[in-house]
Structure 1
């Protein structure tokens, strides 16, 4: 049983729709809590995505992130620093944005499975976003025709700009997400 099932009862289409809309809004609000780094800002998006995945389950969590990305692609200012639109989605954060879907799905695989499983899943999911997140500036962006100062950097420079400053924060967010959802499960178990 997921946290949302414990809190709201059996799943219905209407409940799932409202959860997707509410979850995408939660992620959008978390994206606005931003610490300016260059070229990628540090936000609370990943914390919100982990919470959504751990609370909603794998499929509904991934659908929620897809809805969030669709909202941004449609021009709603849901990304960090009120970013929106396809040009924003092709910027330096493109790989991370795509990785968010997998992050929610992997975290959601442990939904309702206990604190240890959720913690492990949160760490794995947090690490997983670095695969597309780093692949994008390492060469995928250039291969798709993106020309920017951050595209095609050396591996060392990409690690220094896109990974190293965020590792500790992502580990802390993984722990916080697992603790928050496990606490919610305990609350609703009573």
Structure 2
């Protein structure tokens, strides 16, 4: 059971659709918190993707990320400032899919406590670098080594900190829910 199902046990189709749109909105809002860097900005999007996966599970989380990508594809201003689909950030945005799926699968399998949620968050965070770095290598003048240097290395420490925050938030949410039910 995921945190979203524990909080809203009766999930109608309309409720699930609103949750998916809400998850996409959380990711979009997090993308607006941006530190300009070249060629990829640092944002809170990855934290939001982790939280969506860890709270909604892999199916709903994947639906939320797909909704977010669809919103970007039709031109809604959901990406980080200055980012466009097809630009240098696209590989990382595509990386949100395996990232949310892995975090969501961990939630579906019961990652409620801090350590399991942290391990899932770290593993999910690393998933984003494969498509992100490969895309940077393909669409910019950077070599593969340059893409790693510019598109991965500056972000690893921040992504690990975001993993800790996501694990704290989800394990804390479960703890609060347990206390409220007692």
1:166 aligns with 2:155: yes
Instruction: Indicate the residue corresponding to 2:135 in structure 1.
Output: 136
Post-superposition CA distance 1:37-65 (Å, at most 9, x none): 11100000000000000000011101100
What does 1:13-28 align with in structure 2 at a 5 Å threshold?
Answer: 13-28=13-28
Which portions of structure 1, spanning 4 or more consecutive aligned residues, are displaced by more than 4 angstroms? none
Separation in structure 1 between the aligned mates of residue 144 and residue 111 of structure 2, nearest angstrom: 37
Instruction: Indicate the residue corresponding to 2:106 in structure 1.
Output: 110
Post-superposition CA distance 1:97-155 (Å, at most 9, x none): 1010111110011114222221111111100100000111223x3xxxxxxxxx24222
Separation in structure 1 between the aligned mates of residue 14 and residue 172 of structure 2, nearest angstrom: 26
Q: TM-score, normalised by structure 2?
A: 0.92
Instruction: Indicate the residue corresponding to 1:176 in structure 2.
Output: 165
Q: CA RMSD in A?
A: 1.2
- Runs (5+) with no aligned partner, structure 1: 142-150
Instruction: Indicate the residue corresponding to 1:98 in structure 2.
Output: 94
- Runs (5+) with no aligned partner, structure 2: none
SS in 2 for 1:188: helix
Q: TM-score, normalised by structure 1?
A: 0.89
How many aligned residue pairs are there? 176
Separation in structure 1 between the aligned mates of residue 136 and residue 31 of structure 2, nearest angstrom: 21
> Does the 8 A contact of 2:134 with 2:144 survive in 1?
no
SS in 1 for 2:87: coil
